[in-house]
Every structure is written in structure tokens, then in C-alpha cells.
């Protein structure tokens, strides 16, 4: 017997070595090369499942806390032995308009399990060691409750999912048994365009632990700004309309919630009130602990660009780690920016790897801002707006000129607040029209790039208590520009390219796009609106005493735009903007004190040859303006 012991020990050791390490070695693990996770997990074999997370609200007043449907796809190997981070797209659109340029919707098998996840996130990131969650916003698709358009219920659903991923909330399987997220590290990102990105910002503003980064694309930071501009109403009773659109349940279910929104939205005044404060994430930005990769376009007149510029500034003031892309399209996802798809996917990949997987890469060493400065030209700079922008005051004169010298004391110009289309506001700028006043510079002596937010600063008197005012900054000069009005700036082609793996039910291939261009003699660059009675406060109406002058100062929408050498810069001041307001003109006669009115524009010299932010505009003196006695006004 003793002589057999060495042989038995050798056999035992051989079996022990062969049992677990050999199996473990055959299983994929998170793999990183060149600063990026690699696709080592099978997309076809991934686990596809769903749970219902219990939220903290009962939005439909049925006596039960709303449960949120969460569709999950994750690597087969994920579990207690291999925990993976989460990329989450929460949306109200999964069973109505769909997601992405091609309007993709979720698809389920006969058992209710998801087999198709919209967009490329699952195809690309699951093979690289991520779980992807498509979450139905409360009151939409397969979630319970009623949508409240940016309010408490909307935000509670996404927050509950983050809490569940970190063991702080309950979830249930279809059979009612408890569901645990023992397969995740608890680190989560939220991403999405429009409403989806808005939910990401709203959840981030709760300060929920576990949400480590967000990627809001064309997102709302304040629903008041989405539907108001300084008291001017874009659309009446919009919140209830949108709530009804995204909720595909029978209408009576949530009618009381919609009626309550109509009663509380303050459409009778246009003022900011408690309804809008509940839907204002900017006021809670101090709670944000997640990093932010923001994307917005300066011609987005759906979610207007002041929804990113003020959010971005607030993040900067708090030193939140951040990155930004600023495009020139309308309401378009960066995945569909011409020539930028591969760059976007790689940049997003690096960002998620850094924050969710702990990969040391170039996510924070690259310049902070990518900015589109022409139809096909992008530059990188260390921040946005351009750090070297100089605020230049432009003054209107009674002869219709626009320049650096204020008008003489006593100079005025008048118009009537009527509802006008913008095309009529800028037409025939050299001709007097009763509904607007217009001013233009001479030919510009060099390219000038606007980067940031212009400010309209007027002194006006009215013959009625209030009026709506519009300020337009216009580029007059033939040029080829992004045609953001047509197809939101893109045309979808038939040819596809692929990002990620595929199954017969869910491929990672999407149609390419090209930028729509237009050659035109003018372009409205910046727009801004105000109700004069909100000149001092958004919460309290203050009519301007009839026949007395008052200061009316407000910011236009931000922009990033190059005025070409030889073009003329125009300022149009008018009443109600028919294109962007539901309101009728007040009929008030508006007199503008030209001597004390101006528009202040942040300018840098245009980056026509310099790829970064080295070009500086040192101030108005750089323009070498001709003297007044030369007989013409020259900006």
C-alpha cells in the first residue's frame, strides 16, 4: 500500500489541475488592448431577460408603487464570478416613434423576452463585457404608471433601476419571484438622445450613487426652456400632449394626470412656477456626481441649444469631468453625423471603458470639445465656447447700419408687435417694414467666428403693458451651408455599415447618411425671444408702464458659426416670431432707444487654417474700422 501513495497523489493532483483551471482558462474575461476593451464575448449566446423594478412612486394612483420594465442583454459568462458594468438607455419611445434614425423598436419572443434591442449599443458593447439595459420610462411601453413629462415620476423610474443595480431597490421576474443583479459591478452609464438623454440628466441630478457617467444627446436641462423663452410660449399645453403621445395605454387611464399638468403649467402667463421647477434639472446640478459627455447641435430648434449651454457652464463651474461635441445639424444623433460615425463609436467606447471598466486610455487627455465649424470641417479645442472669444458690442443706427459706435442720443426706431415668419423678418433689410426694424454692417474685412451666446440689450417703450420681442442675428452673403431645415440636415442612404455583432433578429448595421447642403444668400444664426413683462423675473409678470422706457436684456440661443469675409452681419428686432411661438402678436407699438441698445456677440477669428483654438480675436481694434467721415458703416 505505501508504494501506491505517490502514484495516487500524482493522479489526484493531475485531476485537480484539470478540473477548474482548465475550464476557467476557456471562459472569456474582460480583455483590453490599446486602451479599449475587446469583443471576446459571444453576442449570439448572450443572456436576454427582463425584470420589473419597483419604483418609489404611484403615478397612476392605483394604490401600488409603479414597476419599471427593464430589458437586459449581458454576456453569458456574467454572474457572481464575472461582474460587468451597465450601459442604460431609458426611453418613452420604444413602442411609438422608435429609436434612432431608422425608428427601431423592441422585439420580443413568444415568452416576452427581448430579442431585438434598438440601436447599436448592445451589438457593440455586450461582446466587450458590458450589460445593456433598455428601460421603459414609467407610463410607457411595458412599464406601469403614467408619464409626467420630466417630473417626479419620470425621474423616479431610472433612479430606481440604478438603485436596484446597487442592491438598494427591489425587482421581480415575470413569475413574481425576486430578481437580483448579482451579475453587475453596480457601475452604470445612462445614454440617449432627446427625451432619453433628458432622463439621464434628470437622474444624474438626483445624485444617485452608482451612476458614474451620462451621455446626454440633444437633451433638456430645463423643461421650462424647452417650452418657454423668457415668458414667450412655444406651444400651449405641450406637456399633456406629449404625455398622451408616449403613453400607448387607453386614454382614460392617465387623463387625470394630463388634466393636472394642463392646470399647473401656467400657460396663462408663461411664467416659471412650481410645475417647471419640478422639471428643472439645472437647479439641481450641484447634486451631479457623474461625469458628462454631452452632444448637441446649434441648429436644434426642437431641443434648443440653450438646453446644453447653461448645463455645460454649470458643470464647468463645479469642475465636473466632462466632454462635448457641438454640431451644426438639427435634432440629429452623432452616430448620423456624416464622416463621424467611426469616430463617435470609438470615442464613446473609450469614454465608457475609462469610466465603467477602469481602463487607462485617452478619454480625458484629448481636447475637451469637438466643434463643427463648417459643413465638412470639425476642429478640436480645449473647451466650448472658444476660450479666446471676445464680447463685441454692436450698435444699431437710425440709418440702418450696424457698427461699433452707439447712435446719437435721441435716435429711435419703431415697429409693431405682430406675428411674423422669420423669412419676412429678414427679407428686404434695406426697406422699412411696420413689423420689424433691421440693421446691417458693411462687408466684413475678415472671417469672424461666433462662439457662444449673444446678448440682446435693448431700451424700449411700449404703448401697451407688454409685447413679445424677437432678436435675430443674421449672416447676409451667398454661401453653402448645412441645410438643417431639410431632413434635419441629413439624407439617409441605402448603403449600410456595421458596428458590433449581429443575430438574425438584431443586427448592428445601419444606413449611412450624408449632409444636406444649401446655397443661400442669408442665414439666421442666433435667435432670442422675450415677453417684456418678464424682463426682470421669470416667476413674476411686471408690465412696463405705458409710455416709459425700460431696459430689456436677454440671451439669444447660443451658436458656433463663421461669418465669412465680405459678408454683412445683420440685426433684426421684431415682435412675435410666428415660426417658434404659439402666441399672437400683442399689437403694441415698440419704440427702441437706439443710443442705449446693442447686441453683444462673442467673436474669435475664424479657424480657417488653424486646427485648434490658437487663432485669437484680440478685440474690435483688430478690424481697423474706417472713420465715420469715410461715408459708410463698417463692422
DSSP 3-state of 165:
helix
**Active-site annotation holder among 296, 331, 349, 499:** 331
Which residues share a beta bridge with 522?
476
Peptide bond just before 385 cis, omega within 30 deg: yes
26 catalytically annotated? no
Q: How many other C-beta atoms are found inside a 10 Å radius of the C-beta of residue 385?
A: 23
CA–CA gap between residue 556 and residue 526 (Å, rounded): 6
Q: Spell out where 441-543 has E strands.
A: 448-452, 455-462, 468-482, 490-498, 509-515, 517-531
List 59, 194, 222, 240, catalytic entry: 194
Query: What 3-state class would DSSP assign to 243?
Result: helix
The cell for 554 is: 436677454
Pairing of strands 32-33, 36-37: antiparallel
Q: For the chain, give the number of residues.
A: 635
**Residues in CB range of 363: below 8 A, 6 or more apart:** 323, 350, 351, 353, 354, 355
Instruction: Report the Cα–Cα distance between both ends of the chain, in Å, rounded.
Output: 106
| Closest by Cα among 282, 311, 273, 304 to 538 | 273
502 is catalytic: no
- What DSSP character marks residue 86? E
DSSP lists the bridge partners of residue 585 as none
The number of beta carbons lying within 10 Å of the beta carbon of residue 263 is: 11
**Of residues 126, 113, 136, 142, the one with CA closest to residue 505:** 113
Catalytic residue among 265, 300, 353, 613: 300
d(CA 433, CA 568): 20
Count other Cβ atoms within 10 Å, centred on residue 557: 23
Q: Measuring CA to CA, how many Å separate 378 from each of 337, 373, 612?
A: 11, 6, 10
CB 461 within 8 A of CB 589: no
Is 286 tagged catalytic?
no
Distance CA 206, CA 229 (A): 25
Q: State the Cα–Cα distance between residues 32 and 221, nearest whole angstrom.
A: 35
Give residue 288's Cα distance to chain centre.
17
Q: Where are the alpha helices (DSSP H) in 228-357?
A: 238-246, 255-264, 274-278, 306-317, 341-352
Report the distance separating Cα 244 and Cα 296, nearest Å.
26
- With contact defined as beta carbons under 8 Å apart, do 570 and 426 qualify? yes
> Which residues are catalytic, by number?
194, 300, 331
Amino acid at each position: 500500500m505505501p508504494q501506491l501513495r505517490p502514484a495516487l497523489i500524482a493522479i489526484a493532483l493531475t485531476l485537480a489541475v484539470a478540473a477548474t483551471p482548465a475550464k476557467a482558462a476557456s471562459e472569456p474575461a474582460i480583455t483590453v488592448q490599446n486602451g479599449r476593451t475587446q469583443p471576446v464575448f459571444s453576442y449570439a449566446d448572450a443572456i436576454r431577460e427582463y425584470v420589473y423594478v419597483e419604483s418609489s412612486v404611484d403615478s397612476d394612483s392605483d394604490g401600488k408603487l409603479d414597476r419599471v420594465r427593464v430589458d437586459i442583454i449581458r454576456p453569458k459568462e456574467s454572474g457572481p464570478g464575472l461582474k460587468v458594468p451597465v450601459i442604460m438607455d431609458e426611453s418613452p419611445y420604444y413602442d411609438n416613434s422608435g429609436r434612432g434614425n431608422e425608428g427601431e423598436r423592441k422585439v420580443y419572443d413568444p415568452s416576452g423576452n427581448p430579442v431585438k434591442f434598438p440601436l447599436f449599443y448592445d451589438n457593440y458593447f455586450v461582446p466587450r463585457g458590458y450589460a445593456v439595459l433598455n428601460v421603459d420610462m414609467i407610463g410607457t411601453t411595458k412599464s406601469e404608471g403614467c408619464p409626467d413629462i420630466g417630473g417626479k415620476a419620470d425621474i423616479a423610474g431610472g433612479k430606481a433601476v440604478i438603485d436596484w443595480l446597487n442592491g438598494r431597490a427591489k425587482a421581480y421576474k415575470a413569475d413574481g419571484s425576486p430578481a437580483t443583479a448579482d451579475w453587475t459591478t453596480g457601475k452604470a452609464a445612462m445614454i440617449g438622445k432627446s427625451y432619453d438623454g433628458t432622463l439621464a440628466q434628470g437622474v444624474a441630478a438626483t445624485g444617485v450613487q452608482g451612476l458614474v457617467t451620462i451621455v446626454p444627446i440633444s437633451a433638456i436641462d430645463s423643461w421650462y426652456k424647452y417650452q418657454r423663452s423668457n415668458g414667450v410660449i412655444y406651444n400651449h399645453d405641450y406637456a399633456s400632449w406629449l404625455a398622451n403621445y408616449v403613453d400607448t395605454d387607453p386614454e382614460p387611464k392617465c387623463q387625470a394626470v394630463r388634466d393636472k399638468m394642463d392646470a399647473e403649467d401656467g400657460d396663462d402667463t408663461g411664467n416659471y412656477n412650481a410645475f417647471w421647477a419640478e422639471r428643472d434639472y439645472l437647479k439641481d446640478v450641484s447634486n451631479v456626481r457623474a461625469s458628462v459627455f454631452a452632444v448637441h447641435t446649434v441648429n436644434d430648434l426642437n431641443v434648443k441649444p440653450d438646453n446644453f449651454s447653461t448645463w455645460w457652464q454649470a458643470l464647468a463651474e463645479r469642475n465636473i469631468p466632462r466632454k462635448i461635441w457641438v454640431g451644426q445639424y438639427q435634432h440629429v444623433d452623432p452616430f448620423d453625423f456624416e464622416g463621424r460615425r467611426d469616430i463617435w463609436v470609438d470615442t464613446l467606447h473609450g469614454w465608457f471603458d475609462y469610466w465603467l471598466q477602469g481602463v487607462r486610455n485617452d478619454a480625458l487627455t484629448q481636447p475637451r470639445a469637438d466643434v463643427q465649424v463648417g459643413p465638412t470641417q470639425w476642429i478640436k479645442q480645449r473647451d466650448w465656447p472658444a476660450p479666446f472669444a471676445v464680447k463685441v458690442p454692436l450698435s444699431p443706427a437710425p440709418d440702418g447700419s450696424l457698427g461699433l459706435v452707439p447712435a446719437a442720443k435721441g435716435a429711435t426706431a419703431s415697429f409693431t408687435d405682430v406675428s411674423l415668419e422669420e423669412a419676412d423678418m429678414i427679407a428686404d433689410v434695406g426697406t422699412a417694414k411696420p413689423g420689424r426694424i433691421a440693421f446691417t454692417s458693411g462687408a466684413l474685412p475678415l472671417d469672424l467666428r461666433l462662439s457662444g451666446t449673444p446678448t440682446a440689450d435693448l431700451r424700449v417703450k411700449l404703448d401697451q403693458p407688454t409685447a413679445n420681442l424677437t432678436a435675430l442675428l443674421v449672416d447676409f452673403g451667398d454661401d453653402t451651408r448645412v441645410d438643417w431645415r431639410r431632413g434635419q440636415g441629413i439624407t439617409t442612404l441605402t448603403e449600410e455599415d456595421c458596428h458590433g455583432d449581429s443575430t438574425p433578429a438584431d443586427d448592428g448595421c445601419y444606413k449611412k447618411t450624408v449632409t444636406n447642403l444649401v446655397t443661400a444668400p442669408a442665414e439666421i444664426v442666433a435667435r432670442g425671444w422675450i415677453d417684456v413683462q418678464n424682463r426682470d423675473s421669470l416667476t413674476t409678470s411686471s408690465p412696463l408702464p405705458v409710455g416709459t422706457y425700460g431696459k430689456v436684456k436677454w440671451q439669444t440661443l447660443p451658436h458656433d458659426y463663421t461669418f465669412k469675409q465680405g459678408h454683412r452681419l445683420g440685426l433684426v428686432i421684431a415682435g412675435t416670431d410666428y415660426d417658434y411661438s404659439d402666441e399672437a402678436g400683442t399689437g403694441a407699438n415698440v419704440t427702441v432707444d437706439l443710443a442705449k441698445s446693442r447686441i453683444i456677440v462673442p467673436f474669435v477669428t475664424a479657424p480657417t487654417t488653424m486646427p485648434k483654438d490658437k487663432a485669437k480675436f484680440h478685440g474690435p481694434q483688430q478690424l481697423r474700422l474706417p472713420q465715420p467721415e469715410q461715408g459708410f458703416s463698417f463692422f
